[in-house]
Amino acid sequence: MKYLRYGEPGRERPGVLDDAGVIRDLGGRCDDLAGDALDPARLMALTGADLASLPAVDAGVRLGPCVAATRQFIGIGLNYADHAAETGMPIPQEPIVFNKAPGCMAGPNDAIPVPPGAAKVDWEVELALVIGRRAWQVEEADALGHLAGYCICNDVSERAWQLEGTGQWLKGKSAPGFGPLGPWLVTPDEVPDPLSLAMTLEVNGETMQSGSTATMIFSPAYLVSYLSRFMVLEPGDVITTGTPPGVGMARGRFLRPGDRVRARVAGLGEQVNEVT
């Protein structure tokens, strides 16, 4: 299934996309796509077989981040072999872990604001994992059973804040609008192989990134297991898993107001964001 959240910022309602592409309201069955509602078994039970019985929603409605009440927004750096090569960095021997402040989360088509003082705002199309069941010390073989699903993330980054000065990644990853998520939370049954997904990102119609999750160094299952060695992962936590080559930093090009960014991951939809 493809779950989503729609409505004005801060007042989103849960919904689901039916086979005809119509948004159906889930507000009568759960308060939001958060907490216990994200448990894989409960999530699948929200809809049942008869989606047509759920109220239809206007097609032009705003979509919000596809998950709510996120406690941790965790990023993985240099997790694509071809991206590591373009940066001139060695392939990591273990995952590089950083955080994005959850306050950076935005809807899949919301604007990306350039913060005051920012000069090197960059793009990164990524596959994101959404935790659905509490994970602590889980084995890799069991790790994907803890997922509510997958979605697109654009891990927007301000490179000067991330890498220059004191070089703290959190500072460069966390401004408002720096974490568009969605459009959908896609359940794992619709993504049988998360390591075979084509992904692209365009700026003003020009392809900047074109890659595949097949070049990931550490798989989604490994990442969930690895992170659960050091911290408890709770329902609603987001793990964004790295990006293929073609980022602005490698090209010497960064986002400016007026740019239009389009990010796609096969089976997970697309995001279109204006830079403001």
Across the range 190-195, mean pLDDT stands at 97
Cβ-proximal residues to 20 (8 Å cutoff; 6+ apart), any chain: none
Predicted confidence at residue 205, as pLDDT, reads 98
Measured CA to CA, the distance from residue 28 to residue 46 in angstroms comes to 10
Asked whether the predicted pLDDT for residue 89 surpasses 90, the reply is no
Over residues 16-46, the pLDDT tens digits come to: 999 999 999 999 999 999 999 999 999 988 8
Whether residue 57 contacts residue 26, with contact meaning beta carbons closer than 8 Å, is answered with no
Measured CA to CA, the distance from residue 98 to residue 77 in angstroms comes to 7
State the pairing for strand pair 238-240/206-212. unpaired
Domains of the chain in sequence order = 67-274 (3.90.850.10)
How many CA within 13 A on the CB side of residue 196?
4
Over residues 33-88, the pLDDT tens digits come to: 999 999 999 998 888 768 889 999 999 999 999 999 999 999 999 999 988 888 78
Omega of the bond leading into 183 within 30 degrees of 0 (cis): yes
CB count in 10 Å sphere of residue 75: 27
First to last CA, the chain: 33
Whether residue 224 contacts residue 245, with contact meaning beta carbons closer than 8 Å, is answered with no
Cβ-proximal residues to 137 (8 Å cutoff; 6+ apart), any chain: 228, 229
Asked whether the predicted pLDDT for residue 206 surpasses 70, the reply is yes
Query: 3-state class of 267 per DSSP?
Result: coil
Please name the residue that has the structure tokens 């995952």. Answer: 95
Measured CA to CA, the distance from residue 130 to residue 153 in angstroms comes to 11
Q: What is the pTM of this model?
A: 0.97
**Total count of residues recorded for the chain:** 276
Measured CA to CA, the distance from residue 166 to residue 150 in angstroms comes to 33
Cβ-proximal residues to 13 (8 Å cutoff; 6+ apart), any chain: 5, 6, 7, 25, 26, 27, 32
Please state which of the ranges 77-91, 128-142, 214-228 shows the lowest mean pLDDT: 77-91
Task: Report residue 229's pLDDT band, with 50, 70 and 90 as the boundaries.
Answer: very high
Measured CA to CA, the distance from residue 86 to residue 81 in angstroms comes to 9
Which residue from 158, 154, 175 is spatially nearest to 260, judged by alpha carbons? Answer: 154
Token code pair at residue 73: 């927004």
Measured CA to CA, the distance from residue 197 to residue 193 in angstroms comes to 8
Beta bridge partners, 256, equal none
Average model confidence (pLDDT) across the chain = 96
Measured CA to CA, the distance from residue 67 to residue 241 in angstroms comes to 17
